[in-house]
Structure 1
């Protein structure tokens, strides 16, 4: 995992299989470091746990360092966030195209401590993207920042992701999910319990929402064990994002930078899963592993 050049070449090889080189609308000429090469460099850094651009540029080989400056790298990476997400979806489609069961959950993403929230200027350049105070039931704590909403397959590949202020309730994410998946069973926890939403999902896009019932509900039934077991898969993915990809560590000052970091970390995770399955034929969720 310490060989940056070899890891970079492996990830670039994968991206070239699923995405074509092309100039984007804001580019007038071909840059020295192409978009795919820049994205590959970003994903390599995330995979190797290099979470600081300063540290990354100290470790870059001369062949890459001569092609791009740090400020240009940072600016172009933010502009490429939509292409980065398209690559993530293309990778995920190789796993989830015929998937019938998905898991939905959310996790807190803190941008600063609560004591600093009143004077913090992080991610406040646009009104629509202001962070907010929220409560995490799993950790029994309040925090200031955002909430990452995600849907993954039961095999552990992210299909859909979204960010919202921390105060937004989990169930509101289900209103947007209808545009992204259909004809499947969606497994969630008690935070997604809603008869109205459950009926709406089934009638509009044939999604069966399965959540544990509260013990005092009428016609109470225990959620099947297989669903309770599969629901833990997304919690394991969140743990991997926190551990190896350090998703809770934030160096961003703007929302665009914050969003780019989150998408890059999840795309890096999906890329390693793709390499595990289609190049080495091993367990896709062995993330701390050599890819060269």
Structure 2
């Protein structure tokens, strides 16, 4: 997994089969690297667990990409390509089984700095709407400062959609967006999504059945189906893979634009590995620690 040139060539070749164009927005001067080639470098870095641009450009200096792009230009262009990278990710997701109607929703904390530094931190504070905040993570039983990643994955383990909110926003508010993105399906969540009002609204608006485990002291208590309890572990596994191989909890971004681009890059790289596992190599989708070359 250390041959950057070979990995980059493979990823670029597969991306060219998906994308219709090499460049996605007008430039008066044609750059040495096309937009698609830049996205391929980004996915290659995430696949190799190269988590900082400084480290990435040390690898690039010893590859055929040396001299093709300057580090600050790479950073600016990568952030501009955020919507186009998301379009490519959605193209890969669309290739998987479209007949699935069971999905899992969950969230995970994204800490940007320790609580002791929160009051003096200037990270991601360039715009008021994106200010990070303090929140509580029930699964880890601690408070943290930063953001929260909300995500929906299929029962087979592919991220369908995701969003980022400040840490203080309750998980249940993400479901207000879900009803505009999905319909005619079953959505499995944990107790954080327990709400009769939201459950009724999702069913009436988009025919989405929200299934969450009941609290033991609720009337007419019934244990959640074993199949649903087992399926819920799928998204927890994906979150663990993002933390382990893709180091999603390491933050080197200074702006919210850079932060959200980092998160998308890691999810896109994970989806790409799943994609080539199924459609190129014909192997199990979620074996993401295997070589792709």
Give the TM-score normalised by the residue count of structure 2.
0.98
Q: How far 1:65 moved relative to its partner?
A: 1.9
Aligned partner of 1:101 in structure 2 is 102
| Residues 153-186 of structure 1: CA deviation (Å, up to 9, x unaligned) | 0111000100000000000000011121111100
Question: 1:156-171 counterparts in 2 under 5 A?
Answer: 156-171=157-172
Give the TM-score normalised by the residue count of structure 1.
0.98
Task: Point out 4+ residue stretches in structure 1 off by more than 4 angstroms.
Answer: none
Report SS of the residue matched to 2:64.
helix
Aligned partner of 1:267 in structure 2 is 268
RMSD: 1.0
Paired with 1:197 and 1:30, the residues of 2 have a C-alpha distance of 50
Report SS of the residue matched to 1:63.
coil
Gaps of 5+ in 1: none
Paired with 2:246 and 2:123, the residues of 1 have a C-alpha distance of 21
Paired with 1:258 and 1:171, the residues of 2 have a C-alpha distance of 23
Is the CA contact (8 Å cut-off) linking 1:96 and 1:153 kept in structure 2? no
Is the CA contact (8 Å cut-off) linking 1:149 and 1:173 kept in structure 2? yes
| Residues 92-151 of structure 1: CA deviation (Å, up to 9, x unaligned) | 111152211000000000000000000000000000000000000000000000000000
Q: Does 1:154 align with 2:169?
A: no
| Residues 192-231 of structure 1: CA deviation (Å, up to 9, x unaligned) | 0000100110111111000001111122111000000000
Is the CA contact (8 Å cut-off) linking 1:183 and 1:207 kept in structure 2? yes
| Residues 58-87 of structure 1: CA deviation (Å, up to 9, x unaligned) | 111443122211111010000001111111
Report SS of the residue matched to 2:281.
coil
Q: How far 1:25 moved relative to its partner?
A: 3.9
Is the CA contact (8 Å cut-off) linking 2:49 and 2:247 kept in structure 1? yes
Question: 1:49-128 counterparts in 2 under 5 A?
Answer: 49-60=49-60, 61-128=62-129
Instruction: Count residues in correspondence.
Output: 292
Paired with 2:121 and 2:171, the residues of 1 have a C-alpha distance of 25
Question: 1:248-263 counterparts in 2 under 5 A?
Answer: 248-263=249-264
Is the CA contact (8 Å cut-off) linking 2:106 and 2:150 kept in structure 1? yes
